[in-house]
């Protein structure tokens, strides 16, 4: 790690350790390496940002870690234990994910109640009714939403349901895949506030993937910049705030996030 | 500043269903000169409908009604559908968000661009091809000769969007309506596309309506900004003065944005006032 | 944006249109009522629906509606034209009352429709979703079998089955079901291929749901609407196939009053006694029309894209 104030973080145990991760798509001649030799480690209770443009492989890292993409190699260790490609049921209770598009991530024909209670039933939790009600209150929706269907909700409300769903199994680590990029600015603020609150109260570890540098600066302590499947720079948030990144690509991203500059 | 290119007065867009009438745009008035005008708003604010209604691209059951839609002294409402077709593309172009639905899937990319050029200029085939490749180059497409001969499904989404922009810019329209034209693009390409549009405004005196949700981008790119909420214009100001906007909605939007350089624990949340919907629309003339 | 104040204060109707249902049952009733309302709003679909309700009622109350016993022959009253001697639609060559036969025949038609509707689509759905969701060699094997079934014209295949199994109404239904499922499997597979990559399936996978649960609980509901539409539209064809088998003497056997068999027996008198073949033909026409209208309307009502708005 390049920066010095990481010493404090290092005392925390590592929640997620990814070493030399490669992810492949396709087979034979068409085989394509979407993620190349990516290594990151996230301290327990930390918030790690993965930044990059579309096609940089940032979401693919999340999908490999969560188990949605099976074709990867390298080592991924969660709470010190390497995980295998075949995921155990208990793994679901360690890592959960929030998806980008709340219009696509909730089953259109299932009520909110079913969406939230199904994971509980799968993992044989007790007090399902209470847990579902509490989860809705926790994400700021309230019980009256319990028996509605996704099409009755706004984008922000849907994303709250998606967050509640990810929290149902009480995971330690939450993977956030562009959780606000499909939402309006004012709704984004609400969702980001909610995510910050939840992290504080539940001591969760976040890995946030986004293309928005302002969002990542607001949410994360440590940031990795990805381009074409590789990590080009890892920095802490202060470095980014002071506009002192090392890599040219990071500087370019930073400049663009400030708005438009006419041709020099 | 030069005189108005487009003048719109009291524009309404309504969608009537059996149960109720939804008013997407509610009596807005504005004008656009040979300048860059940004229209900002959240989803459902009516900003996209405004752009489409000018070109009469609102589909049934939508209805457009206005006291006046004048373009370059010409009454657009009085034009027949056939005359309107000549205005679209040639004089006023529209770049939309999603290129997938805007390119003809069974026609080569290059043919579509050169056709757009030839329809309005009577140029020869070779000349059109030359211009097209030049234009593809200008929107930073590597290997434009190869792209010229490919079909829309063979190019990526970002490239499709750039092709769309090339196609819309090649007839050199007097007014370009760009609806979130760059939100799907990588930063480098985004900057390049903005530069092209910028250049056309500066050098050729093209008018630009830039519809976006990105306040920072609009503030830095446009000359004037129109802020829409609930189908009305709540505020209009010079783009470089957007930071000093007065309307609580605009202020709320600005405050809700996270800022890289000014960390804060909690983002301020926009409290919506029902009065904003009821307040009369602000005129946004030059 | 607005605060919901409409529930409770409008009694039962308010309860049915509530924005925030209070229980699972309430939520289902609200959904059902919304579907019912859009069905009523679509006039042609509602007409189709009413025709089918009528068919069901006629089948249930056949003994009350029939004026004669459908199978008693009376050689004194053969070939009577409609509205003579108390026979509303006349009599056939054996002196049986055509009206009563059509009334009782509706039971057979309904029996065929119900059995086919509950076997072929379910089987097709199972094959299609399993094939689409699992992919790989399972997909290849299941789809090639489907292809083999699809390669034969439906009536020819049904004929082959019936002649192998023996003539009779049960075997006719079996044959129709065996020939009807492949298109449903195709539709279900195509839908599954798009559904299985969606985020809500990824989400439930991450929560540890098994394949069977995902297929039955998450993919089936998404395939249902297009399948229901297709089945309803196919019902007319199924009735016609059943009638066709009956007509060829391979379906329902005499003296059972199956509509196709009735047309078949009336065929030889068509020039002099048109009503014998025409009346059951009209019955087939009306019921088929009812299913088609309903299917067309359901396509509009159940379209998930439309339901979003």
Calculate mean pLDDT across residues C9-20: 77
pLDDT of residue C2: 38
Q: Which residues pair with A207 in a beta bridge?
A: A48, A175
Measured between alpha carbons, how far is residue C146 from residues A88, B255, C183 in Å? Answer: 35, 59, 8
Position B278 pLDDT exceeds 60? yes
**CA-CA distance, B128 to B136, in Å (whole number)?**
12
Q: How many CB atoms lie within 10 A of CB A68?
A: 18
List of chain C residues whose C-beta atoms are within 8 Å of the C-beta of residue A87: 208
By CA distance, what is C205's nearest residue in A?
A: A68
Position C265 pLDDT exceeds 90? no
**CA-CA distance, A51 to A213, in Å (whole number)?**
7
Structure tokens at C8: 């409770």
pLDDT of residue B265: 86
Q: Is B18 on the interface with C (CB under 8 A)?
A: yes
List of chain B residues whose C-beta atoms are within 8 Å of the C-beta of residue A187: 42
Least confident of A179-188, B7-16, B93-102, B248-257: B93-102
Q: Which helix (H) or strand (E) holds A234?
A: strand A230-236
pLDDT of residue A219: 94
Q: Residue C209 is nearest to which of A106, A110, A122, comparing CB atoms?
A: A122
By CA distance, what is C308's nearest residue in A?
A: A151
What is the Cα Rg of chain C in Å? 24
Q: Which of B116, B125, B207 is nearest to B168 (CA)?
A: B116
Closest CA–CA distance from residue A93 to any residue of chain C (Å): 8
The CATH number linked to A142 is 3.40.50.300
Q: Residue A99 is nearest to which of C203, C209, C308, comparing CB atoms?
A: C203
By CA distance, what is B230's nearest residue in C?
A: C1
By CA distance, what is C38's nearest residue in B?
A: B18
Calculate mean pLDDT across residues B262-277: 86
Q: Which of residues 24-43 of C touch B (CB under 8 A)?
A: 41
Q: Residue B263 is nearest to which of A189, A241, A263, comparing CB atoms?
A: A241
List of chain C residues whose C-beta atoms are within 8 Å of the C-beta of residue A144: 20
pLDDT of residue C5: 40
Q: For B147-197, what is each residue's pLDDT tens digit?
A: 899 998 888 777 887 888 888 888 889 999 999 887 777 777 788 788 888
Total number of domains in chain C? 1
Cis peptide before B133 (omega within 30 of 0): no
Q: Which residues pair with B238 in a beta bridge?
A: B224
Give the range with max mean pLDDT: A7-11, C11-15, C74-78, C145-149.
Answer: C145-149
Report phi then psi at B66, rounded to 5.
Answer: -155, 150
Position B16 pLDDT exceeds 90? no
DSSP state of B73: T
Q: For C87-121, what is each residue's pLDDT tens digit?
A: 888 888 888 899 999 999 999 988 988 898 889 99
Closest CA–CA distance from residue A99 to any residue of chain B (Å): 18
Closest CA–CA distance from residue A71 to any residue of chain C (Å): 16
Least confident of B177-181, C77-81, C194-198: C77-81
Query: Cβ neighbours of residue C219 under 8 Å, at least 6 residues apart?
Result: C129, C132, C133, C191, C192, C195, C196, C201
Q: Which residues pair with A171 in a beta bridge?
A: none
- Cβ–Cβ gap B272/C1 under 8 Å: yes
pLDDT of residue B44: 86
Q: Which chains touch C (3 or more CB pairs under 8 A)?
A: A, B
B31 pLDDT band (50/70/90 cuts)? very high
The CATH number linked to C281 is 1.10.3720.10
Q: Which chains touch A (3 or more CB pairs under 8 A)?
A: B, C
Closest CA–CA distance from residue B256 to any residue of chain C (Å): 18
Q: Is C1 on the interface with B (CB under 8 A)?
A: yes
Q: Which residues pair with A224 in a beta bridge?
A: A50, A234
Report phi then psi at A34, rounded to 5.
Answer: -85, -30
Q: Residue A104 is nearest to which of C200, C206, C221, comparing CB atoms?
A: C200
**CA-CA distance, C247 to C258, in Å (whole number)?**
9
- Cβ–Cβ gap B253/A186 under 8 Å: yes
3-class secondary structure, A39: strand
List of chain B residues whose C-beta atoms are within 8 Å of the C-beta of residue C41: 18
The ranges assigned to domains in chain B are: 98-172
- Cβ–Cβ gap C1/B18 under 8 Å: no
Q: Is A97 on the interface with C (CB under 8 A)?
A: yes
By CA distance, what is C41's nearest residue in B?
A: B18
List of chain B residues whose C-beta atoms are within 8 Å of the C-beta of residue A190: 269
- How remote is the C-alpha of A59 from its chain's centroid? 9
**Domain-located, residue C8:** no
What is the Cα Rg of chain A in Å? 19
Write the DSSP string, C84-132.
BTTBTT-B-TT--BHHHHHHHHHHHHHHHHHHHHHHHHHHHHHHHHHHH
CA angle at residue C233 from C229 to C237, to 5 degrees?
Answer: 150
Closest CA–CA distance from residue A89 to any residue of chain B (Å): 35
Cβ-based contacts under 8 A for chains A and C: 88
Q: Is A152 on the interface with C (CB under 8 A)?
A: yes
pLDDT of residue B19: 74
Closest CA–CA distance from residue A50 to any residue of chain C (Å): 20
**Domain-located, residue C81:** yes
3-class secondary structure, A25: strand
**Helix (DSSP H) and strand (DSSP E) numbers for chain C:** 14, 0
**Domain-located, residue A217:** yes
Total count of residues recorded for chain A: 264
Position C158 pLDDT exceeds 90? no
By CA distance, what is C199's nearest residue in A?
A: A105
Query: Cβ neighbours of residue B35 under 8 Å, at least 6 residues apart?
Result: B1, B2, B201, B207, B208, B223, B224, B286
Question: pLDDT tens, position by position, for chain A (264 residues)?
Answer: 444 444 444 567 899 999 999 999 888 777 889 999 999 999 999 999 999 888 788 999 999 999 999 899 999 999 888 988 778 888 999 999 999 999 899 999 899 999 999 999 999 999 999 999 999 999 999 899 999 999 889 999 999 999 999 999 999 999 999 999 889 989 999 999 999 999 999 999 999 999 889 999 999 999 999 999 999 999 999 988 888 888 989 988 888 888 887 765
Q: For B219-250, what is each residue's pLDDT tens digit?
A: 999 999 999 999 999 999 999 999 999 999 99
Q: Which of C109, C112, C94 is nearest to C258 (CA)?
A: C109
List of chain B residues whose C-beta atoms are within 8 Å of the C-beta of residue C40: none
- Cβ–Cβ gap C24/A113 under 8 Å: yes
Closest CA–CA distance from residue C166 to any residue of chain B (Å): 52
Q: Is C6 on the interface with A (CB under 8 A)?
A: no
Cβ-based contacts under 8 A for chains A and B: 92
Q: Which residue range forms the structural domain that includes residue A126?
A: 47-59+87-257
C224 pLDDT band (50/70/90 cuts)? confident
User: B208 or C308: which carries more pLDDT confidence?
Assistant: B208
Q: Is A213 on the interface with B (CB under 8 A)?
A: yes
Q: Is C218 on the interface with A (CB under 8 A)?
A: yes
The CA-to-CA distance between both ends of chain A, in Å, stands at: 35
List of chain B residues whose C-beta atoms are within 8 Å of the C-beta of residue C1: 272, 274
Cβ contact A228:A213 at 8 Å: no
**Domain-located, residue C222:** yes
pLDDT of residue C107: 92
- Cβ–Cβ gap C41/B18 under 8 Å: yes
List of chain A residues whose C-beta atoms are within 8 Å of the C-beta of residue C35: none
Position B215 pLDDT exceeds 80? yes
């Amino acid at each position: 790690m390049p920066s010095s104030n990481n010493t404090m973080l290092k005392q925390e145990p590592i929640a997620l350790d990814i070493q030399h991760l490669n992810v492949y798509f396709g087979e034979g001649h068409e085989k394509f390496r979407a993620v190349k030799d990516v290594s990151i480690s996230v301290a327990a209770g930390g918030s790690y940002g993965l930044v990059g443009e579309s096609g940089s492989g940032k979401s693919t890292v999340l999908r490999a870690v969560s188990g949605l993409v099976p074709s990867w190699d390298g080592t991924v260790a969660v709470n010190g234990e390497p995980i295998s490609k075949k995921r155990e049921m208990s793994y679901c209770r360690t890592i959960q994910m929030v998806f980008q598009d709340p219009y696509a991530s909730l089953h259109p024909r299932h009520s909110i109640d079913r969406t939230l209670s199904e994971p509980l039933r799968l993992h044989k939790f007790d007090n399902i009714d209470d847990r579902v009600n509490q989860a809705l209150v926790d994400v700021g929706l309230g019980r009256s939403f319990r028996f509605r269907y996704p099409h009755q909700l706004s984008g922000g409300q849907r994303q709250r349901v998606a967050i509640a769903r990810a929290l149902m199994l009480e995971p330690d680590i939450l993977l956030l895949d562009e959780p606000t990029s499909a939402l309006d600015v004012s709704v984004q603020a609400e969702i980001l506030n909610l995510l910050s609150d939840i992290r504080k109260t539940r001591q969760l570890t976040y890995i946030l993937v986004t293309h928005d540098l302002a969002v990542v600066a607001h949410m994360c302590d440590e940031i990795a910049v990805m381009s074409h499947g590789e990590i080009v720079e890892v920095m802490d948030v202060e470095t980014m705030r002071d506009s002192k990144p090392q890599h040219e690509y990071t500087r370019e991203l930073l400049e663009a996030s400030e708005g438009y500059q006419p041709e020099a | 500043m030069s005189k108005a290119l487009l003048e719109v007065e009291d524009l309404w867009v309504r969608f009537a269903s059996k149960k109720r009438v939804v008013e997407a745009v509610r009596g807005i008035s504005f004008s656009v000169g040979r300048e860059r005008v940004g229209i900002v708003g959240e989803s459902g604010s009516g900003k996209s409908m405004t752009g489409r209604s000018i070109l009469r691209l609102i589909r049934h059951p939508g209805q457009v009604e206005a006291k006046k839609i004048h373009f370059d002294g010409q009454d657009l409402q009085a034009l027949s559908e056939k005359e309107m077709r000549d205005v679209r593309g040639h004089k006023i172009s529209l770049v939309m968000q999603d290129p997938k639905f805007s390119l003809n899937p069974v026609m080569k990319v290059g043919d579509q661009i050169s056709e757009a050029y030839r329809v309005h200029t009577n140029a020869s085939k070779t000349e059109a091809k030359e211009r097209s490749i030049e234009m593809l180059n200008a929107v930073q497409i590597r290997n434009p000769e190869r792209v010229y001969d490919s079909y829309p499904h063979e190019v990526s989404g970002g490239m499709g969007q750039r092709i769309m922009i090339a196609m819309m810019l090649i007839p050199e329209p007097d007014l370009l309506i760009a609806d979130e034209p760059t939100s799907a693009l990588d930063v480098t390409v985004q900057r390049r596309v903005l530069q092209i549009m910028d250049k056309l405004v500066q050098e050729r005196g093209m008018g630009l309506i830039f519809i976006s949700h990105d306040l920072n981008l609009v503030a830095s790119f446009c000359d004037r900004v129109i802020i829409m909420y609930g189908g009305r214009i709540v505020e209009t100001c010079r783009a470089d003065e957007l930071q000093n906007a007065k309307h609580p909605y605009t202020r709320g939007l600005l405050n809700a944005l996270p800022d890289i350089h000014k960390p804060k624990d909690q983002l301020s949340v926009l409290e919506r006032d029902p009065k904003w919907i009821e307040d009369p629309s602000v005129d946004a003339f030059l | 944006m607005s605060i919901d104040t409409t529930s409770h204060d409008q009694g039962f109707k308010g309860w049915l249109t509530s924005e925030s249902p209070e229980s699972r049952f309430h939520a289902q009733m609200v959904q059902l009522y919304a579907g019912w309302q859009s069905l009523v709003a679509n006039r042609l679909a509602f007409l189709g629906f009413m025709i089918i309700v009528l068919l069901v009622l006629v089948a249930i109350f056949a003994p009350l509606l029939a004026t004669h016993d459908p199978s008693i022959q009376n050689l004194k009253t053969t070939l009577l034209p409609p509205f003579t001697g108390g026979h509303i639609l006349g009599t056939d060559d054996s002196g049986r009352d055509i009206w009563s036969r059509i009334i009782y025949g509706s039971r057979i038609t309904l029996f065929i429709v119900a059995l086919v509707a509950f076997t072929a689509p379910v089987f097709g759905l199972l094959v299609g979703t399993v094939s689409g969701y699992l992919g790989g060699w399972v997909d290849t094997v299941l789809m090639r079998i489907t292809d083999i079934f699809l390669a034969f014209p439906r009536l020819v295949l049904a004929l082959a089955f019936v002649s192998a199994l023996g003539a009779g109404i049960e075997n006719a239904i079996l044959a129709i079901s065996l020939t009807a499922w492949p298109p449903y499997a195709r539709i279900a597979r195509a839908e599954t291929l798009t559904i299985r990559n969606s985020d809500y399936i990824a989400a439930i996978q991450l929560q540890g749901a098994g394949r069977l649960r995902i297929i039955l609980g998450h993919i089936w509901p998404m395939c249902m609407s297009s399948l229901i539409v297709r089945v309803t539209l196919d019902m007319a064809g199924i009735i016609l196939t059943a009638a066709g088998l009956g007509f060829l003497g391979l379906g329902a056997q005499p003296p059972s009053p199956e509509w196709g068999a009735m047309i078949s027996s009336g065929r030889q008198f068509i020039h002099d006694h048109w009503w014998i073949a025409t009346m059951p033909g009209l019955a087939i026409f009306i019921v088929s029309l009812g299913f088609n209208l309903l299917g067309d309307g359901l396509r509009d009502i159940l379209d998930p894209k439309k339901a979003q708005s």
